[in-house]
Amino acid sequence: METRDWSLVIFTVLTQAAVGAFLTLQVLEHLATRRDRGASGRATDGPQNNSPARGGAQADEHEAGSARESSGARALAARGPLPAPLLVVLAVLSVGLFAALFHLSTPLQAVRAVVNFSSSWLSREIVFGSLFAALLSALVWHEWRTAGAAAASPAPERHAAGSAASGSAPATPTPAGQAFRSPAPANALSADPTSLAPATWLPRFTAAAGLAFICCQIAIYLLPAQPAWNSFATPAAFGGTALRLGILGVAAGFAVRNLTAGVDDPAPADPGGSGVAPAATLREGKVIRSFRVSDGGSGVAPAATLRGLALAGIAALALEFVVVPLHLSSLSANPLPAAAASVQRLTVDYSGILLLRLGLLGAAAAALVGVLVTIRRAAGPSAPSPPSLASVLTCVAFGLTVASEVCGRFLFYAMQVRVGI
């Protein structure tokens, strides 16, 4: 394999990992936001029954907080000046896009590659790849700017919410919508996203561009002249890489944060103790900014998040053990000599690399099972966060998967045999 093919290995693996990680972060963000809403709703129920007046004020505070969730979360999560997870994704994407240039013999003319958008999937790939990078950069900038703004004025914001609640002292809970519209916290709300704010649409457009990017990458290889590529195995390979590296990359991000949290971010005692933390602390998380989910204030990812990612990761790893045999058998059934030649490359010429690929995936899956077992063993109120062994194993699984994906993508290019003579 030549340098230019390696550039494609690096390009496709890294950009797919970036899209997968971005989508994984978005899903986690969505789940965390939904859970926060649910938890903050539940938290208002208890006190209300005991003391209507006090409960009302408290509920008002919580619901106002829930409505202003984004700005509240920002204010509290603005510990670092930059959204680290998104920056890592952007860095990986940038290296991947840069690597693609080395596939061209005239990289300086790369801009010409968008000219044939009307028929060339490569042109479309470049357009959507660039769009994804641009939107992701805008999102990084937006998160960084709003984090800075929120960090600059966290106190008045919280004060405003508090005074709105205690000043009016309603006997019954004020609906969230009213609290949202009440004039008192207006200064805080000015920074708040409405439905038209970038915080709402920017992540969605970014995700859509990322998905379109991967779809174009897939379509490039669906060539009738290349039977080994012109198959379900290509979407399975590219989508699978995005899933595996996306899920495990984010899991590794959490794991690294867990491992370093003890050093620079000492964990206070778990305030809830019961697993359901008070709404005020649940609002802390902002996954895309700091690899945090609502965590009861401990500064590390809760075991449930790591467990969920490990389970999803195992499923994504297992996918390949279905795809490889299916692909080989469909190629073997193909009457074209080129298909048989591709089978020969995979099972004879490069059988060692194929075995290495599958072995690495199996080892990664085993490490993830280890993560699950460790978390399960450590489960209990005294240990709400996963122990460091689970984090180490998560990083190991990610490393093994990266190595396996490189092998897999090498095979993808190595198995290519054109039809005809």
Partner 1 sequence: MSDTKQQVAFFFDANRCTGCRTCEVACKVENGVELGPRWRKVRTVEGDQDGGPYMYHVSMSCNHCEVPVCAEACPSGAITKRSDGIVIVDESKCIGARLCAWACPYDAPQFSEETGKMEKCNFCSHRIDAGTGGPACAEACPTKALQWGTLDEVAAKAGATAEFGPLPDADITKPAIRFIPLKLVHS
CB of 298 to partner 1, least distance (A): 50
Distance CA(198)–CA(172), nearest Å, equals: 34
CB of 233 to partner 1, least distance (A): 16
Taking the least distance from each CB to partner 1, the nearer of 117 and 201 is: 117
CB of 119 to partner 1, least distance (A): 4
CB of 334 to partner 1, least distance (A): 12
Residue 278: count other Cβ atoms within 10 Å of its Cβ.
15
Taking the least distance from each CB to partner 1, the nearer of 84 and 336 is: 336
Distance CA(394)–CA(383), nearest Å, equals: 18
Taking the least distance from each CB to partner 1, the nearer of 89 and 417 is: 417
Residue 98: count other Cβ atoms within 10 Å of its Cβ.
14
- Residues of this chain that interact with partner 1 (CB under 8 A) are 4, 103-106, 109-110, 112-116, 119-123, 126, 220-221, 223-226, 337, 416, 418-421
Q: Angle at the Cα of 78 (from 34 to 30), degrees rounded to 5?
A: 15
CB of 265 to partner 1, least distance (A): 47
Taking the least distance from each CB to partner 1, the nearer of 112 and 204 is: 112
User: Which is it for the CA torsion 100, 105, 107, 112, positive or negative?
Assistant: negative
CB of 209 to partner 1, least distance (A): 18
Contact residues for 365 (Cβ-Cβ < 8 A; gap 6+)? 313, 314, 317, 318, 397
Alpha-carbon distances of 373 from 273, 386, 390, rounded to whole Å:
22, 11, 9
CB of 306 to partner 1, least distance (A): 41
Taking the least distance from each CB to partner 1, the nearer of 127 and 311 is: 127
Distance CA(86)–CA(141), nearest Å, equals: 10
Taking the least distance from each CB to partner 1, the nearer of 101 and 392 is: 101
Taking the least distance from each CB to partner 1, the nearer of 22 and 221 is: 221
CA 369 to chain centre: 21
Taking the least distance from each CB to partner 1, the nearer of 4 and 377 is: 4
Taking the least distance from each CB to partner 1, the nearer of 104 and 326 is: 104
Q: Are 151 and 78 in contact (CB under 8 A)?
A: yes
Structure token pair of residue 307:
């467990």
CB of 123 to partner 1, least distance (A): 4
Alpha-carbon distances of 143 from 28, 147, 148, 412, rounded to whole Å:
16, 6, 8, 37
Segment (H or E) for 391: helix 388-414
Distance CA(288)–CA(203), nearest Å, equals: 10
Distance CA(71)–CA(64), nearest Å, equals: 11
Taking the least distance from each CB to partner 1, the nearer of 113 and 392 is: 113
Write the DSSP symbol of residue 224: T
User: Closest Cα to residue 23, out of 143, 201, 258, 203?
Assistant: 203
CA dihedral 88, 94, 97, 99 (to 10 degrees): -90
Write the DSSP symbol of residue 349: I
CB of 341 to partner 1, least distance (A): 13
CB of 12 to partner 1, least distance (A): 14
